[in-house]
């Protein structure tokens, strides 16, 4: 049994985590859940959105599965998601986007995995006003280091090699941001030299955005900096049906956190309408990470079978007429 910290989260979080837990149980996943709190619910209960015992549990068990957390806009506590990524140096954000059967999309045969650097770039939050009085001139600083770039790019190549992928595409803007993304590109070229079995190409981010909608099938593994990765990974999700059907992992050297990328959907919370697929796909990434690949594959097959044969049992966001419960039951029946 592998101990995994389970953070149900806010809004639809409890419904989708319950669905995922029962599907993994049905598939005989060797997982023992350690339930902990974070987010708005934790804040209301203890005044702390990221309680110390949740952090301690992740430190101890090193693997977490996390539902969506509500983050108040403008005021209140800062994003727990960002805090967890920083605290555990979860530098690889991994977002697969694969065409699913019976999910409506004009894009066919998409199968790409985006590796986004999760800790640097423009997202370090180093911003200031040039003139504090007028607040009409702001500046933001991006940080890129050779060490962090090497880690994420190596992670992308290692993933490609381990998963029989053929190509790594590095995305940058080195024609304009010559120092920061220029460094990222230079490191990419040097890492690529150690992986002669895998094709390497680099693309400028604007071209990449166009290519992704014109010929998404040409991409395999993609690696890029934080801001570009944030945008392109949502774009990639959009190609295959949206954030409700794509999973995500945040992986560091000492810990890994798997999560749905969508939010807590307060508009449908408690109505048995939430689609658990995104968190379910994230949990399959978790099973693969902890060495339970066959169980992940069994569940993946059951999901595909459900989408093909029992779409009517799926949730309304993907064109079904069912509920969280009917979808969960259908997947369990197909395992
Ligand atoms: P959201 O993703 O919660 O909802 C956007 C729309 O998508 C809503 O109409 C919602 O009903 C629908 N939706 C989302 N997930 C769904 C699912 N699994 N099944 C069916 N429909 C689904 O985004 P929103 O409304 O901008 O944010 C709500 C809260 O979630 C905010 O407090 C925000 O900070 C937080 N949030 C948390 C994230 C995380 O924990 N990773 C990510 C994004 C937002």
Please report the DSSP string for 292-326 in residue order.
Answer: -HHHHHHHHHHHHHHHHH-GGGS-GGGT-S--HHH
Q: Which residues are catalytic?
A: 123, 173, 206, 230
**Tokens standing for 149?**
């770039």
CA 34 to ligand 1 center in whole angstroms = 24
- Pocket probe for ligand 1: among 14, 68, 327, the residue whose CB has the most ligand atoms within 8 Å is 68
CA 119 to ligand 1 center in whole angstroms = 22
Longest dimension (CA), the chain: 63
Atom of ligand 1 nearest to the CA of 268: 11
- Pocket probe for ligand 1: among 246, 262, 316, the residue whose CB has the most ligand atoms within 8 Å is 262
Instruction: Give pLDDT tens digits for 56-108.
Output: 999 999 999 999 998 876 556 677 888 888 889 999 999 999 999 999 899 99
The average pLDDT across 190-216 equals 98
Instruction: Give pLDDT tens digits for 1-14.
Output: 999 999 999 999 99
pLDDT for 77 equals 67
CA 125 to CA 236: how far, in whole Å? 25
The average pLDDT across 249-261 equals 95
- DSSP, collapsed to helix, strand or coil, labels residue 117 as strand
CA 82 to CA 78: how far, in whole Å? 8
81-85, 182-186, 200-204: which has the minimum mean pLDDT?
Answer: 81-85
For residue 80, the surrounding DSSP H or E stretch is helix 80-87
CATH 2.30.29 fits 120-239, yes or no: no
- Residue 297 CB burial class (10 angstroms; 0-12, 13-18, ≥19): middle
CA 129 from chain centre, in angstroms, equals: 32
Length of the chain: 335
Atom of ligand 1 nearest to the CA of 265: 3
CA 254 to ligand 1 center in whole angstroms = 28
- Residue showing tokens 């690949």: 293
Tell me the pLDDT of the chain averaged across its residues. 95
Q: Band of the pLDDT at 315, cuts 50, 70, 90? A: very high
- Residue 197 CB burial class (10 angstroms; 0-12, 13-18, ≥19): exposed
**Tokens standing for 293?**
């690949």
Atom of ligand 1 nearest to the CA of 69: 40
Helices 180-192 and 146-162 pack at an angle, to 10 degrees, of: 40
- Class of 1-103+242-335 in CATH: alpha beta
Judge whether 266 and 4 are in contact, CB under 8 Å.
no
CA 199 to ligand 1 center in whole angstroms = 36
Instruction: Give pLDDT tens digits for 229-254.
Output: 999 999 999 999 999 999 999 999 99
Tell me the pTM: 0.94
- Domain positions in the chain: 1-103+242-335, 120-239
Q: Write out residues with Cβ below 6 Å of ligand 1.
A: 12, 68-71, 81, 244, 259, 261-268, 274-275, 278, 315, 317
CA 271 to ligand 1 center in whole angstroms = 15
CA 98 to CA 107: how far, in whole Å? 10
Judge whether 152 and 115 are in contact, CB under 8 Å.
yes
- DSSP, collapsed to helix, strand or coil, labels residue 279 as helix
Torsion over CA of 292, 298, 302 and 303, rounded to 10 degrees?
40
pLDDT for 134 equals 95
């Amino acid at each position: 049994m592998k101990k995994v910290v389970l953070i149900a989260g806010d809004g639809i979080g409890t419904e989708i985590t319950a669905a995922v837990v029962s599907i993994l149980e049905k598939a005989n996943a060797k997982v023992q859940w350690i339930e902990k709190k974070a987010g708005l619910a934790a804040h209301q209960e203890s005044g702390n959105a990221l309680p110390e015992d949740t952090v301690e549990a992740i430190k101890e068990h090193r693997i977490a599965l996390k539902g969506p957390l509500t983050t108040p806009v403008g005021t209140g506590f800062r994003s727990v998601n960002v805090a967890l990524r920083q605290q555990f140096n979860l530098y690889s954000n991994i977002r697969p986007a694969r065409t699913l059967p019976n999910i409506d999309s004009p894009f066919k045969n998409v199968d790409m995995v985006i590796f986004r650097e999760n800790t640097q770039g423009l997202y370090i939050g180093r911003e200031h006003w040039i003139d504090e009085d007028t607040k009409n001139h702001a500046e933001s600083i991006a940080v890129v280091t050779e060490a962090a770039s090497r880690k994420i790019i190596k992670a992308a190549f290692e993933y490609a090699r381990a998963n029989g992928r053929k190509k790594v595409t590095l995305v940058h803007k080195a024609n304009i941001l010559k120092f920061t993304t220029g460094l990222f590109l230079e490191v990419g070229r040097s890492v690529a030299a150690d992986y002669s079995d895998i094709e390497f190409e680099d693309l400028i981010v604007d071209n990449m955005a166009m290519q992704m909608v014109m010929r998404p099938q040409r991409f395999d593994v993609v690696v890029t900096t934080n801001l570009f990765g944030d945008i392109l990974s949502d774009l990639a999700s959009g190609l295959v049906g949206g954030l409700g059907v794509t999973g995500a992992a945040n992986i560091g050297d000492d810990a890994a956190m798997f999560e749905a990328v969508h939010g807590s959907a307060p508009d449908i919370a408690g109505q048995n309408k939430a689609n658990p697929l995104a968190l379910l796909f994230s949990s399959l990434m978790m099973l693969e990470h902890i060495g339970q690949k066959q169980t992940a594959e069994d569940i993946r097959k059951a999901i595909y079978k459900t989408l093909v044969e029992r779409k009517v049992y799926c949730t309304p966001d993907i064109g079904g007429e069912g509920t969280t419960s009917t979808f969960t039951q259908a997947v369990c029946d197909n395992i």
